[in-house]
Structure 1
Amino acid sequence: MKVGDLVNPVTSQYDIAEIMGGLYGDGIIGLKGAFSREWVQQLGEDIAVLYEDALRRPGGAVGRGPKRHYVEIHPEDIRGFVDLVTHPWVKTVCEAVLGPEYKVVEIGFDVPNPGSMDQPWHRDFGAPPDTTLGRRLNSLAFNITTVDVFEDMGPFVIAPGTQWDLPEGFEHEMFPSKDMYERYEARAQRKMPKMGDISVRSALTIHKGTANVSDKARPVLVLGVDAPGANNAERHDLQVTHGYFEKLPEYVKRHLTYRLVNELEPIVQAHTIEGLMMGEA
């Protein structure tokens, strides 16, 4: 990639220093009203169909705790994929933090249903040497809620700044011991986004889902992005049909990890997080 393809802080409509400071500081940032409510409503319709299908297939949905599932999908499963990955803020964040050769490696959605319980504090995977030794973030997770989130719907809770915590005493390098919970509770921020908002975080920042005591599900789209050298693509299987690939903008093709197929194959979920299955004790 040419130097001219890099994000230029002078010409970017978003403040790159603010983006870098937020993700290297708190470990999470957001953009209000990035998409229209109509766009998000369409996304919610697509997810509802995909969720119903996944629940019918063995291995189609993986548990993330009682009455909570994660479903991995393909880019062409949702009508707004290109809109999402070409949004100027998404592109700016990815290029600024992960570099011009970043790759989209995962797309899916998380659904905390009514009755889902508090999760234990956790990371989504173990911290790589790039972060623990090099103090560099090499992956990001974007989230888009498909509903307005309220206090009783089990809001996402995050402990800012904890992406840098060394995993000493962490079970499976992901779950801190309970004697560390006081630190996370003291830092905890409850996130209650509205339809159209988008956030991005380091998946290493300690977080948890909370109990959904409402009568509504809280679906959230997840987009995973890697810097060169990160290995998260090994956990996923992004498939793209030849016809869909030919219609993609060149920018998207360049930044997508994919396997070209004649026909999409159902995904059997592989990234089970056993520590989330029982909820918080």
Structure 2
Amino acid sequence: METAQLTTSIQTTYDVAQIMGGLYGDGIIGLKGAFSREWVQQLGEDIAVLYEEALKRPGGALGRGPKRHYVEIHPEDIRGFVELAMHPWVTAVCEAVLGPTYKIVEIGFDVPNPGAINQPWHRDFPAPDDTIIGRRLNSLAFNLTTIDVTEDMGPFEVAPGTQWDLPIDFEHGMFPPKTNSPRYEQRAQRKMPQMGDISARSALTIHRGTANYSDKSRPALVLGVDAPTANNAERHDLQITRTFYATLPESLKQHLTCRLVDELETIEQGHTIEGLMMGEA
């Protein structure tokens, strides 16, 4: 009954057709001012501590190109995980695109530091048969900036509609041939969210991080969510302590694919993207 009531409430708040149209069309949508600046500032403080710790730990921060890292974390490492995972817009988007039995499989953050260069155009992983053959999206990535993004900070750049591109001559199924680049550059949109904004995208939509010419880092939280037919949980190790799990609402527990532990273990990050390490040629 709780789930049915939640779904009804969400459907009256957010337009499912707009959500579906945006993610099946451009491949990315957003919500301005989803969280307060105070909430985001707190998140930024937590990420700064976690990033410093990860840089000191072997394998703690995976390279995503020169001066650019990705760090996978535990949900309870940040204050506000429940508010993020249960935000009505996040829930509405997940239910609309992935169905009522969606699962959260990943949480982490990207940090493009000063001096980061353009990434090559890419997908975050190879397109599954669900998308190539069935023309369905079976996973989503939510992104939440911890600062106000400006043009010189290396904003995220996306080529709308390219989630449907067949991976012809894509290296490792993720990196399109250079001959495709003019098309992506013609379509390209740079995203400059402000603190409190959140976006949802298909990780298959061709995108890249751009060069950071500023003297500031641009951290962004990442929340990965799967439909029942996706297998992205295999790339991650979402852990939650039994103590923290006991405090979570039942309506959230049913949307977590996680390993319950007595004490959190160091995450051995398995989702490396070697093709990003050299940056754009």
Q: 1:230 aligns to what?
A: 230
Q: 1:6–1:100: 8 Å Cα contact kept in structure 2? A: no
Please, what TM-score do these two structures have when normalized by structure 2? 0.98
Shift of 1:11: 4.6
Shift of 1:270: 1.1
Query: For 1:172-214, what per-residue CA distance to the aligned partner results, in whole angstroms no more than 9, with x for missing partners?
Result: 0000000010110010000000000000000000000000010
Q: 1:83 aligns to what?
A: 83
Matched, 1:243 2:250: no
Cα distance change, pair 194–2 in 1 and its aligned pair in 2 (3 A): closer
Q: 1:178 aligns to what?
A: 178
Unaligned runs of 5+ in 1: none
Q: 2:73 aligns to what?
A: 73
Q: 1:9–1:16: 8 Å Cα contact kept in structure 2? A: no
Q: 2:149 aligns to what?
A: 149
Query: For 1:137-160, what per-residue CA distance to the aligned partner results, in whole angstroms no more than 9, with x for missing partners?
Result: 000000000000000000000000
Shift of 1:77: 0.4
Q: 1:141–1:201: 8 Å Cα contact kept in structure 2? A: yes
Tell me which amino acid in the other structure corresponds to 2:179: D
The 2-side partners of 1:142 and 1:271 are apart by: 17
Cα distance change, pair 105–11 in 1 and its aligned pair in 2 (3 A): closer
Shift of 1:81: 0.3
The 2-side partners of 1:2 and 1:150 are apart by: 41
Written as runs of structure 1 = structure 2, the 5 A alignment for 1:65-144 is 65-144=65-144
Secondary structure of the residue that 2:152 maps to in structure 1?
coil
Tell me which amino acid in the other structure corresponds to 2:101: E
Secondary structure of the residue that 2:13 maps to in structure 1?
coil
Matched, 1:255 2:262: no
Shift of 1:249: 0.5
Tell me which amino acid in the other structure corresponds to 1:101: T
Tell me which amino acid in the other structure corresponds to 2:38: E
Q: 1:199 aligns to what?
A: 199
Tell me which amino acid in the other structure corresponds to 1:170: F
Shift of 1:4: 3.4
Tell me which amino acid in the other structure corresponds to 1:183: R
Q: 2:86–2:252: 8 Å Cα contact kept in structure 1? A: yes
Q: 2:70–2:111: 8 Å Cα contact kept in structure 1? A: yes
Please, what TM-score do these two structures have when normalized by structure 1? 0.98
Tell me which amino acid in the other structure corresponds to 1:92: A
Tell me which amino acid in the other structure corresponds to 1:88: P
Tell me which amino acid in the other structure corresponds to 1:83: E
Q: 2:165 aligns to what?
A: 165
Secondary structure of the residue that 1:190 maps to in structure 2?
strand
Secondary structure of the residue that 2:205 maps to in structure 1?
coil
Q: 2:269 aligns to what?
A: 269
Tell me which amino acid in the other structure corresponds to 1:42: Q
Cα distance change, pair 166–11 in 1 and its aligned pair in 2 (3 A): closer
Shift of 1:95: 0.5
Tell me which amino acid in the other structure corresponds to 1:12: T
The 2-side partners of 1:74 and 1:121 are apart by: 28
The 2-side partners of 1:116 and 1:4 are apart by: 46
Shift of 1:12: 2.1
Q: 2:221 aligns to what?
A: 221
Q: 2:3–2:251: 8 Å Cα contact kept in structure 1? A: no
Q: 1:41 aligns to what?
A: 41
The 1-side partners of 2:235 and 2:228 are apart by: 15
% identical aligned pairs: 77
Tell me which amino acid in the other structure corresponds to 1:178: K
Runs of 4+ in 1 over 6 A off after TM superposition: none
Secondary structure of the residue that 1:24 maps to in structure 2?
helix
The 1-side partners of 2:259 and 2:191 are apart by: 35
The 1-side partners of 2:241 and 2:7 are apart by: 30
Tell me which amino acid in the other structure corresponds to 1:21: G
Q: 1:6–1:95: 8 Å Cα contact kept in structure 2? A: no
Secondary structure of the residue that 2:7 maps to in structure 1?
coil
The 1-side partners of 2:214 and 2:6 are apart by: 45
